[in-house]
Structure formats: structure tokens, C-alpha cells
Chains A and B, each alone.
Chain A
Amino acid sequence: MRKLPWLGLLVVVVCLAAWEAAARSRPDLAVHFPPASAVLRALGGIVWSGDLLAHALASLRRFAEGYVLASVLAVGAGLVLGLSRRLHTLVEPLIELLRPMPSVAIIPVAILFLGIGDQMKIAVTVYACSWPILLNTIDGVRSVDRVLVATAATFRLSPWQRFWKVMLPAASPQIVTGLRVSLAIALVLVTTSEMVVSNDGLGYYVLDLQRSFQMAEMYAAVVALGLIGYGLNRLFVVLDGRVMGWYHGATRREEIP
């Protein structure tokens, strides 16, 4: 287990103290810029009332559905495109055209076709999350070491065995990289789509608190969003360490000490 980054945590505490001091020095701005302590108190309040939990659960459900769906679809498509050079050449220009477009731009289009419900929010999350996973999976499969591929050949693996025993595990570190990038993107898309049209979820909640001038609570909800993002990432890192331990071990070996 890694040591706690005490110095880094100290920087966080110093920033919080600076926020507190800055806000207290300008009581005239208190409505828009409450001190950290007030936000913390407000956070306690929205946790206690159950509002935060209800909205967080709505967001997390959309997040999970969109993220899992995107992972399955994009890893699947990426594996196929990574293995078939012909197919990849065919769709590469399409990917290159669609990928740079900011994903949130499809929210209005998605509303036209899917309405304002969960379907739309999950669809835009799937769309946005798919890109990093898809591209990393394609690249991961295509960059499997040729010696490893030749090893599979000399042991006469069938295409199916080669896929399961060699290509997939060898590409997995890069697939996991894609999955990690998309984790943050999923949260962005869920929050944004909830801000555009929704009557629950954290994105809606933050905007609703702002519109009803509950500024301390609004900041508290933003902080909660940050903490959720942090928590999801930590969870991912732990799972990554468990499943991909071999990869981290092997690459650590190659570093110059």
C-alpha cells in the first residue's frame, strides 16, 4: 500500500483555508461566495435531508448504465476493428470526423430523437464514452507484439484461441486505459445532460440550487460531484491494481531504478 500523500493533502487544506479567509474578508459577496465552512455545513444539511443521496443515486444509475453499455459496445467494436485491417480502413475516416466533435453537441440532437428522459441521457453518455475506449482498444489490439503473435502461430492456436489467450490479454492494458479515461467523461455527460433537461440527478440539483439562490448548498453539491468523481476513480484504481497487477509489475521492472 502506498503511503498517504501528506504534503499533497496539506496543499488541499491550505487552499481550503485560503478560500475561508478570502470569503470572510468580503462579507458583501457572501451570497455568491460563501466561506468553506458554510459550504461544509450546507453539505451536512443536504446529506442529512436525503436530497443529495436521492439525486446522487439518480445520477449514478445513469452513469452506470451508460458506462457499462459503452464499455461493452466499444470494447467489442474495438476488438473487431483492431483485428480487421480492412474494416478499420473503411471506418477510420468516419471515426476521425466524429471523434473531435465535442460530445455534448449531440445532446440537442439526442433530445429530438429520444426525448428528454433517461434514454437520451444514457445515449449521449454511451456516445461520448465510446471514443476513448474504442480508439484505445483498436490501438491495443493492433500493437500486440509481433513476437507474441508469432508465438501463437508456432503453437498453432486457432483464431479463437489466439483471440482469447493472446490478443485480448495483451491488449488489455490499453483497453483499461480507455476505460479509465471514459470514467471521467461519463460523469461529465451525465451531469451536463441533467443540467439541460431533467427533474432529478446531481446536474439538475446543482442548477436548481443556483436558481433558487441556495448558494452554499449549490457549492456543496458541486463538492459532492467532485468527491463522487474522486471515489469512482479510486475504485477503478483499486480494481485495476487487482486485475492488471501483472502489467504494473512487468512495466515497473523495465524502469531504470
Chain B
Amino acid sequence: MLEVRGLRKEFQPLSGPPVAALGDVSFRVEAGQFVSVVGPSGCGKSTLLQCLAGLLRPTAGQVLFEGREVTGPPEGLILVFQEYNRSLMAWRTVLGNVRFALEGRGASRSAMDAEARRYLELVGLGGFERHRPWELSGGMQQRVAIARALARQPNVLLMDEPFGSLDALTRIELEDTLLGLWRTLRTTILFVTHDIEEAVYLSDRVHVLSRRPARVIEDVEVTLERPRHQLTTREDPRFIKHRHRIFELISREMT
């Protein structure tokens, strides 16, 4: 579905030699999987996602999406940002924000609104159509952004620390909402986070990145049953073992 081969990305600072954010990143995401990428902060996770989304051109290596090389934002792949409040359009209503994903493809306004409404129901925001995004709480705003992304019916959803600026309880709620949506819509998800537990809780696989210039140092297969449960899954000895292992890998990178 999505394949990264020897991805390298360098940035040219104002003075001095180029700085490499991504050293040599390679991994695959199979259709229908929920895959997370974790790594020490500042290791280039966001850079990686932007390369995958076709927003940044890699210095070397390739991103293949459905067998084709990504050179610009491809159809069927949507990036969800951590900064929901900067990504949503303050001048549009909640419904208008979701409709944004459906516009320009020849559908009638009423058909688009009906479709947008359906996705708002799916993320649990039925009844908030006429609100403005800034009238909602942070968690609800991110739900709008997720509804907008899903309304486009992407084959792969890329998520850049989407719950990173939410409080712990809201985050737990949204994790379960996201898992529910993933199960019903059968979307492939690549999820970037710095939260190890979140990565293990959500994913089928967790790719652990090194410090910059980033490369994948380990590919952890998470064998926990689904549906996952916030208490029992997190108390499962295998969960704790995965968390332990990934934590060790990352702390070794941070010293």
C-alpha cells in the first residue's frame, strides 16, 4: 500500500553544511494496517510524514503509494495535522469544513452536505454542523479535522501527532474513536506520535526511529487482540513488554 525506500531528507540552513533530518528510512505499510512511528523528539517524524504526503521532496530515496512514486500530494492519501485549529477554516462552519473535502468534484451542494453530515455523525459531532470550529473544544476540533479527512475516503490516512496537544482524557476518548472508525471504514492508518503507550495501544506495528538523521531501528509487531480496551489492553503483560522494549530503544537514542 505504502512503501518507503531509503528515504533521506536534508535541509539547507542559512549558513553551514546541509543538515539531514532523515538519514535512511525504509518500511512498508500493508493495506488495512494501523502502523505507528515513534521516535525521540526532533528526530524528523514530521518531516517523514510530509515526504510521505508529497508535501516535501526527499533528497534521496522514494515513497511508493499504491505502486507509484509520490512526487506531489497523491489522490487517496490525506494528512491530518496536530494543529487542528490552524488546519480548520475559521470562516467556514463545521459542516462547511467537512464539505471542503468533497467540493470541486461535481457533486451537488445538498449531496455534499448530506455526505459531510454522515461523517460528522461518525466522529460523534452530529448536531454541531452550524457551529464554527473555534466555538468547539480542542478534542472536538480535531474530530472535525478527522471527519474532513475521512470524508475524502482516503486509502491511507497519515496522522501527525494528532492528539499531541489534547489533554489525557480527551486523548483516550479520541484514541478509541479513531480505532472504531478504522475498524468500520477499513482505512490504512500511519500514525506518528511521541507517546509510546499510544503507539502500542493503537497499532499493529510500531516503527521506532533513531535520533536524527532518522532511520528505523526496530520494527515492533504488536500482537495484542482487538478490539483493544483502555484498561485491560494496557495491563496486558505483552503491552508492558512492548512498552518496555520501545522505551529502552528510544532512551538509548536520547543519551
Name, among B54, B75, B87, the residue most crowded by chain A CB atoms within 10 Å (CB to CB): B87
| Interface of chain A, main secondary structure | helix
Q: Is the Cβ of B75 less than 8 Å from the Cβ of A151?
A: no
* Of the residues B78, B86, B101, contact of A148 by C-beta under 8 Å: B86
| Interface of chain B, main secondary structure | loop
For B91, the chain A residues whose CB sits under 8 A away are: 169, 172, 246-247
Q: With the chains together, A53 CA to B101 CA distance in Å?
A: 53
Instruction: Report if A147-B104 is in contact (Cβ < 8 Å); known contacts: A153-B55, A156-B75, A246-B132.
Output: no
Q: Is the Cβ of A246 less than 8 Å from the Cβ of B83?
A: no
Report the interface size for chain B: residues with CB under 8 A from the other chain.
24
Q: Is the Cβ of A155 less than 8 Å from the Cβ of B86?
A: no
Q: Is the Cβ of B55 less than 8 Å from the Cβ of A148?
A: no
Asked whether A64 is an interface residue with its Cβ less than 8 Å from the other chain, the reply is: no
Mark A151-164 against chain B: 1 for CB-CB distance below 8 A, else 0: 10111111001000
Mark B57-86 against chain A: 1 for CB-CB distance below 8 A, else 0: 000000000000000010101110101001
Q: Is the Cβ of A148 less than 8 Å from the Cβ of B87?
A: yes
Q: Is the Cβ of B73 less than 8 Å from the Cβ of A156?
A: yes
Q: Is the Cβ of A147 less than 8 Å from the Cβ of B100?
A: no
A153, chain B: closest CB distance, angstroms = 5
For B50, the chain A residues whose CB sits under 8 A away are: 150
Mark B72-112 against chain A: 1 for CB-CB distance below 8 A, else 0: 01010111010100110111000000001101100000000
Q: With the chains together, A151 CA to B83 CA distance in Å?
A: 11
Asked whether A166 is an interface residue with its Cβ less than 8 Å from the other chain, the reply is: yes
Q: With the chains together, A250 CA to B55 CA distance in Å?
A: 28
* Of the residues A147, A155, A246, contact of B101 by C-beta under 8 Å: A155
Asked whether B206 is an interface residue with its Cβ less than 8 Å from the other chain, the reply is: no
Asked whether A253 is an interface residue with its Cβ less than 8 Å from the other chain, the reply is: yes
Asked whether B45 is an interface residue with its Cβ less than 8 Å from the other chain, the reply is: no
Q: With the chains together, A151 CA to B50 CA distance in Å?
A: 11
Mark A117-161 against chain B: 1 for CB-CB distance below 8 A, else 0: 000000000000000000000000000010110110111111001
Q: Is the Cβ of B90 less than 8 Å from the Cβ of A155?
A: no
Q: Is the Cβ of B90 less than 8 Å from the Cβ of A246?
A: yes
Tell me the B residues contacting A by CB distance below 8 Å: 50, 53-55, 73, 75, 77-79, 81, 83, 86-87, 89-91, 100-101, 103-104, 132, 134-135, 152
